[in-house]
Structure 1
Amino acid sequence: MNKNTNVRLACVLLLSLVGGIASARQGSAENQANAKAQTKPGEMALPSAIPEPSQQSSAKMTAAELNARYSDPAMLPSPDGYARPRTKLKMPQFRDPKEQALDDLLDETVTFTRDDINRYYDRIDDFKRSVRTPDGQLRRAVISSVIVNLQPGSVIPVMRLNVNENSSLLFTDSTGNPWPIVKFSAPSKAMFAVEFHASNNPHEIALEPIKDYAYGNLKVFLAGMSTPVFVRLVTGQKETDVRLDARMPVRGPNAAALIEKQMPPEASSSMFSMLNGVVPEKAQELKVEGADARAWMLDGKMYLRLTNKTSVRSPSWTGTMSSIDGTNVYELPARTPVIYAAQEGKSVELRVSGF
């Protein structure tokens, strides 16, 4: 009887075990069916159990590792137990302590923007320009000529100078040749720096003012002249005479041989203006071909200006005026269409039109 009882108990236990397995399978199938019914298109179901993060201490992790852990897109479970795709979490960014300390230091010490720094350098540049430039502007540098009048009551010539700029005063005679200087008397050394080299350029005096708004007179004795020539020196003008040709109205010791029809001492002011490149208002400019020259019609006569030491050979001219740099001005008969000139030993033909 005991044997039969044991058999019966074993059968009951076996049936109970089979029933439990069947119930578990049925419940799992029902859960899967419910999950499929609740999952929407584009979603997927995840196991309700999510593995725990690594037990590695966050204190030993770098800022990059912390950012990677907490900034990855997470598939977090929804309240109903199923996961849905989520956007990237807006988690605080972990930074390296050294980088953070450097940024904090820069924020406290460097308070200027790029535009502020550019404005600062612009202001410094304006300050340097103002300090190094008299009156904050550069003077216009020119080469000038002046006829020295030796008659009583006449006004002495004026030479305009500027600080930090060298200028030269040249003396020439009526033929444009250099007139040597014997001696001179300079103004105060505290106002002007004066140099003279008799062996190299005996007709030139180099000048440079030392102070702003300096002034004074320069007294010069020329070779063969018993009376001195005075030149007033001024600064602070709108223009600077980097070279001033002081033209004496008489022939000097280096004058060329006297040529017939040479311009008299009372030379035409119009010719002198043309020699300096200034055209009288009433002059009519003509067209010249064949050389570096300009021509004008004025008061029924033609005037020809030649550079590079070019001289007229034909036709016969009625007057001429020359400068120390080799520029010549000729007064010719009106309406002269063809002119023959000499330039460095070569014959040059000029054709004039536009009468």
Structure 2
Amino acid sequence: MKFRYKLITLIILTATTANTSAAQQKPTTTITPAQSANVASQKGEPSTAQAQSDSTDSNSHVDDNSIQPKDRPPESGLGLQVAPPQVVYPASQQIVEETLTDLESLQLTPEQSNRLKEINLERSRQKSSPYISPPNPVTRTLLVNLNAGVTPPTIRLATGQLSTIVFSDMNGQAWNINRVSINCVQFNSALGCEKEKGTEQTNIITIEPKQPTAYGNITVTLNGLSTPVIFILTSGQKDVDMRVDAKLTGHNPDAEQSISLTGMPSIDSEMTSFLDGVPPKSAKRLKVTGLDDVEAWAYNDAMYVRANANAQYPAYISAGRSTTGMSIYKYAQTYSNVTFTTGGRAVTVSIENSDTASSDK
């Protein structure tokens, strides 16, 4: 029995091997579309071309296995259950610390702060004045000549600075202002543009230009003086008149006669330079002893003495006084002694040539 079973198994294996070899050796037959159509017509089935046409016309399903992996679209993940995102808020202390750290990183160093201040200051300086260089401030005494044919004096102004005009007579007494006329479009003046009724009278007027290069004039009428005082106003000059002591001749109704200098002659333009303490370059300074704040010069065969006191002896030929009380006296010749009264007492000063004083020493 065992031998018979083995023999049957061997016969089956031999037959299977023979069939496989025959199948491998069978030639492949190529069928053309026309032959396929004939065979199909004989069998009553649609041809391959017709089947392909029907497949093209209809929305046939494409086998996913025929698409390469690189040509497949990415998976959307729709339908999958995804866990909701969890928002984790930082602690309040952490937020505060991070904010403080950011603020500290934005802080300027002391050197940077100082540099920023310097830049701001420089910009402020440039904006504070419309001029390239600030004008030189000047205070001076001005003799006003009201005669016809004389050019009115000029007052030099500057934007951002107040120029003051003080009116007085030759004795230095205040001469009050009655009325002021000025172009308020180009200039600003408290008396001319903003004067209120009932304002107390004064002998001082302040003027400020509204434009860096303003030009015009001002007319001032003084009490008891029929002729108006006219000044030309200009701005943008190298110098600016901070204060101008305008001195006029004539009767001043506001003067106190008890302290006026009786018989005082008129003052000339040269004397105003000595009165301001700025004598001509050719004037020679003299040495004065015996009283403070007394100066003397020799100029053009005359002697000029500047003092804050009243000269008594010898007689002077011309004199003038500013509104500050400073006086200038002109003598026909050089004297070695001059007597003044100050503080209710008489004081005699000694005047000598500075060269002689140096040689004596």
TM-score range, shorter chain: 0.5 to 0.7
1:123 aligns with 2:119: yes
Give 2:262's aligned amino acid: I
Aligned to 1:306: 307
Pair 1:341–1:116, CA change in 2 (3 A): same
Query: Which residue in 1 is equivalent to 2:167?
Result: 171
Q: What secondary structure, in the 3-state scheme, does the structure 1 residue paired with 2:274 have?
A: helix
Could you tell me how far 1:200 is from its partner in structure 2? Answer: 4.2
Instruction: Please give the per-residue CA displacement for 1:222-241, whole angstroms capped at 9, x wherever unaligned.
Output: 22222211112222223322
Q: Which residue identity lines up with residue 272 of structure 1 in the other structure? A: T
Cα distance in 2 for partners of 1:103, 1:259 equals 82
Render the CA deviation track for 1:294-343: whole Å, top value 9, x for unaligned.
00111222111012xx1111122222111121111112243322221111
Partner of 2:321 in structure 1? Answer: 322
Work out which of the residue numbers 154, 166, 169 in structure 1 matches 2:150.
Answer: 154
Query: CA–CA distance in 1 between the matches of 2:254 and 2:107?
Result: 73
Cα distance in 2, alignment partners of residues 273 and 201 from structure 1: 29
Query: Which structure has the higher relative contact order (CA within 8 Å, separation 6+)?
Result: 2
CA offset digits 1:129-167 (Å, max 9, x no partner): 111233254433322221122223322122222333333
* Matched ranges for 1:5-84 at <5 A: none
Partner amino acid for 1:259?
T
Offset at 1:253?
2.7
Could you say which structure has the larger radius of gyration?
2
Specify whether residues 217 and 258 from structure 1 end up closer, same or farther in structure 2 by C-alpha distance, changes over 3 A only.
same
Q: 1:144 aligns with which of 140, 145, 148?
A: 140
Alpha-carbon contact 1:174-1:252 (below 8 Å) kept: no
- Equivalent residue number for residue 263 of structure 1: 265
What is the CA deviation profile of residues 248-307 of structure 1, one whole-angstrom value per residue up to 9, with x for unaligned ones? Answer: 2334334546734x223xx33221210121111221100111221100111222111012
State the superposition RMSD in angstroms: 3.2
> What percent identity do the matched residue pairs reach?
28
Which residue matches 2:6? Answer: none
Q: CA deviation at 1:205?
A: 1.6
Structure 1 120/336 Cα, relative in aligned 2: closer, same or farther at 3 Å?
A: same
Label 1:318 to 1:153 Cα distance change in 2 as closer, same or farther (>3 A).
closer
Q: Post-superposition shift, 1:204? A: 1.7
CA gap of 1:344–1:111, structure 2 versus 1, over 3 A, is: closer
2:350 and 2:158 map into 1 onto residues whose CA distance is 43
Question: Where in structure 1 are there 5+ consecutive unaligned residues?
Answer: 1-96
Contact persistence 1:305–1:327 (CA under 8 A): yes
Match of 1:135? Answer: 131
* 1:216 CA drift (Å): 2.3
Alignment CA distance shift 1:312-1:112 (3 Å): closer
CA contact (8 A) 2:171 2:261 kept: no
Maintained 8 Å contact 1:174/1:251 = no
CA distance in 1, matches of 2:295, 2:201: 31
How far apart are the structure 2 equivalents of 1:106 and 1:168? 53
- How many Å apart are 1:245 and its aligned residue? 1.5
TM-score when normalising by structure 2: 0.61
SS of 1:130's equivalent in the other structure is helix
Corresponding residue of 2:346: 347
CA shift in 2, pair 1:160/1:112, >3 Å:
same
Report the Cα distance in structure 1 between the residues aligned to 2:114 and 2:121, rounded to whole angstroms. 11
Partner residue, 2:184:
188
Contact 1:175 1:251 in 2 (8 A): no
The residue type equivalent to 1:326 in the other structure is: G
**Aligned-pair CA distance for 1:113:** 7.2
Spell out the pairing of 1:255-294 with structure 2 (5 A cutoff).
255=255, 256=257, 259-260=262-263, 262-264=264-266, 267-291=267-291, 292-294=293-295
Task: Judge conservation of contact 1:129–1:136 (CA < 8 Å) in 2.
Answer: no
Q: Secondary structure at the match of 1:271?
A: helix
Distance 1:205 1:112 in 2: 49
Say if 1:221 and 1:111 are closer, same or farther in 2 by CA, change over 3 A: closer
Amino acid across the alignment from 1:191: F
Any conservation in 2 of the 1:186–1:194 contact (CA below 8 Å)?
Answer: no
Q: SS of the residue aligned with 1:179?
A: coil
The CA deviation at 1:217 is: 1.4
Deviation at 1:102, TM superposition (A): 9.3
Q: Please report the TM-score for the alignment, with normalisation by the length of structure 1.
A: 0.62
Verify the 8 A CA contact 2:141 2:245 in the aligned structure 1: yes
Structure 1 residue 116 displacement after superposition: 5.4
